[in-house]
Structure 1
């Protein structure tokens, strides 16, 4: 599949690298609940007799992707155990490499930098995907399936009226404010963004500013959009570019005018042996990846974060709207 991603589109990502897998929040198996009914996906693939464990990280987008995957696989006949909501990127990746889960959706930028330990991202989405897929398979026995058609990268956002007041449209504008008046540049971050090279430390180096410690507020990722919209305890904050609360709360995403943030294109990561035993997994998930673009995931995120739908209900609605499941 060819990627239709604009690397310079609104700048995302992931959460605290904490907790061992045993302490991670994990979803439970829904074996006692009805499986997703068969739809178009089941016409092209069969997973009868397969027992699969689907995982995912703990933020909204990942909870939705985990449920979409689980229900899609169930519709094709698989028995699925859910471990949605694992705490942090490293925990979730380790769950896959250790065999605790069979698959989850990961991001090209995260794997390239955090797991494969490369310093410089590849600015072309397709080349980045190809490089990640090749190296991750060789080193970790992880197969990368067709990617979704959006870039879930980091974004630095601010309330639109505050952006107008401070005269900031780009991250270069922000750096000027940070250097002249750090109090106005106060930033809410989650603990993972605060520590990652592709997070705050790298951002400061790239744009030439150094926020004092009292201007950085470390809070839970899910609370950052509301905090930014209210300007309490910060005016700016890191979030994902596809967060449904950006338009709902009238936030402005600052343009990454120096193209610092890597491309974070999500794709299902599947254990090589699991995929070899169940090759129709790829047939089930490929149409889903094709249909998941930036508009689709932002609307799904908004259904959960704004409308209050449960991730499993938002996932089911979307799958049924596309006739993927019955």
Structure 2
């Protein structure tokens, strides 16, 4: 029943992402907590969005419930499909705020080729540059939600693959064992598959590369079908739960991806309280925390809204 519920939820979320429609919700009764001591947004209307994967759905729900606890009227548009779609929803005004990643914005949206060394420096460069697009970056969370490559552990052990350089060597020596699963977006991004192959000097034969849905990546690698290796994200709780091996990015290819709320400038100007309201939430979201929250959804079958609510209450942010 949990699997069926997750499937139905995914279908509804995908439909919302394709149509770009906002799932309007009346402001529910979220009891005030410590955030209400910071500021009030009584009577303000804000639309919160996100991308479609688990971490983003959790961040979306955290933001919705946090804003409702201080009196805001919030409309939901969680689960938009892909970074480009979600960014376009922000710039067009379909949504007012969503959590984006510094590396994604710097390379995919601001069209820079190389990341900037250092998390703080990368954040400040993105925040400064995006003002030209009327987008305001609020305070970032400390964790790095960067890409990684995961492997079926017995295959990695058998072929002594511990790093992405080792994987590149395996592609050249034993391509049948180097099968890879990746989602469409990763295959098209400069900070994804094309850049990874170029940096590490390998080309995987096309018949050894499977394009799969993002939600199936970890299960595919754990089963070894249709791949032994897969694109992954460091914050995903399924890596540990499925006992996958994380390959070392020994050439430091993947940029830093600190998440931060991004807000349309007119909305940020009208609601300057947003920065201080969301800062303690961002500060509390370290790597261990987001991994734990993601595990509750992906492994335990809980709903993102329930996971967000429980965490906000544990922290005292809401009542």
Indicate the TM-score class for this superposition, using the shorter chain for normalisation.
Answer: over 0.9
Please say if residues 26 and 86 of structure 1, whose CA atoms lie closer than 8 Å, have aligned partners that are also in contact: no
Distance 1:233 1:251 in 2: 15
Count of residues paired in the alignment? 306
Deviations 1:110-164 (A, max 9, x none): 1001110000111211100000000001x21111000001000001001222211
Say which SS state the counterpart of residue 177 (structure 2) adopts: coil
Distance 2:247 2:208 in 1: 18
Name the CA shift for 1:133/1:180 in 2 (closer, same or farther; >3 Å). Answer: same
After TM superposition, where is structure 1 displaced by more than 4 Å over at least 4 residues in a row?
Answer: 19-22, 24-27
Any stretches of 5+ residues in structure 1 without a counterpart?
Answer: 1-18
CA RMSD of aligned residues (A): 1.5
Any stretches of 5+ residues in structure 2 without a counterpart?
Answer: 1-13
2:52 paired with 1:96: no
Distance 2:253 2:290 in 1: 23
Name the CA shift for 1:189/1:157 in 2 (closer, same or farther; >3 Å). Answer: same
Please say if residues 17 and 81 of structure 2, whose CA atoms lie closer than 8 Å, have aligned partners that are also in contact: no
Say which SS state the counterpart of residue 151 (structure 2) adopts: strand
Aligned to 1:315: 308
Q: How does 1:151-190 map to 2 (within 5 A)?
A: 151-190=144-183
2:61 paired with 1:70: no
Aligned to 1:246: 239
TM-score (norm 2): 0.93
Please say if residues 35 and 71 of structure 1, whose CA atoms lie closer than 8 Å, have aligned partners that are also in contact: no
Name the CA shift for 1:279/1:129 in 2 (closer, same or farther; >3 Å). Answer: same
Match for 1:118 among 95, 112, 121? Answer: 112
How far did residue 105 of structure 1 move? Answer: 0.2
Aligned to 2:78: 84
TM-score (norm 1): 0.91
Aligned to 1:216: 209
The structure richer in helix per residue is 2
How far did residue 253 of structure 1 move? Answer: 0.7
Aligned to 1:293: 286
Q: How does 1:48-63 map to 2 (within 5 A)?
A: 48-63=42-57
Distance 1:318 1:221 in 2: 25
Aligned to 1:8: none
Name the CA shift for 1:26/1:303 in 2 (closer, same or farther; >3 Å). Answer: farther
